[in-house]
Structure 1
């Protein structure tokens, strides 16, 4: 059996937001997990494809990254998605409600 070095093993009560919407061309269904791990960046999961990434408003400036992360073919659709996340994601790390 191989030896593994555990990097972390955390239990955390988190806030999760599920949101579905449509743009001109596409329907989206996302789960947004607000956690204190990962430098406070929310974990964004596409419920249709299972693809996920950590995002904060600074990451949204790179539309190509968003296209790659969620495999969006159309640049305009990715830009629309970035605009949505600009309005949705917190501008500072999520503050825990419970300690």
Structure 2
């Protein structure tokens, strides 16, 4: 038996972005939703790895490395790029 936490249907905005740096190629999907406290779902289309990210997460390079399975240089590049895509929202109590 399960306790349902939520069951929501929503029209979302999805943005697919592919870009390259000097050394790497990136392909991401950004799912913007009214759920999850304003955090978009960021999906790496190459690996299938995903995470809900907020703007504050982008300064934690170790976290980005672990989530997306990338090295430090890639994490720095990805952080710089994501800072132009992830909205800065006030810290809200999450749970």
Aligned residues: 90
Post-superposition, which runs of at least 4 consecutive aligned residues in structure 1 deviate over 3 A? none
Query: Which residue is equivalent to 2:80?
Result: 83
Q: Distance in 2 between matches of 1:90 and 1:38?
A: 13
Q: Secondary structure at the match of 2:84?
A: helix
Rounded to whole Å, the distance in 2 between the matches of 1:57 and 1:80 is: 15
1:22 pairs with 2:24: no
Bigger RCO of structures 1 and 2 (CA < 8 A, at least 6 apart):
1
The answer for the alignment partner of 2:60 in structure 1 is: 62
Q: CA RMSD in A?
A: 1.1
TM-score by length of 2: 0.90
Unpaired stretches in structure 1, ≥5 consecutive residues: 94-99
Question: 5+ unaligned residues in a row in structure 2: which ranges?
Answer: 91-95
- Return the alpha-carbon distance in structure 1 between the equivalents of residues 89 and 60 of structure 2: 18
**Cα drift, residue 36 of structure 1:** 1.1
Q: Is the 8 A contact 1:23 1:77 kept in 2?
A: no
- Alpha carbons 1:17, 1:33 under 8 Å: kept: yes
TM-score by length of 1: 0.86
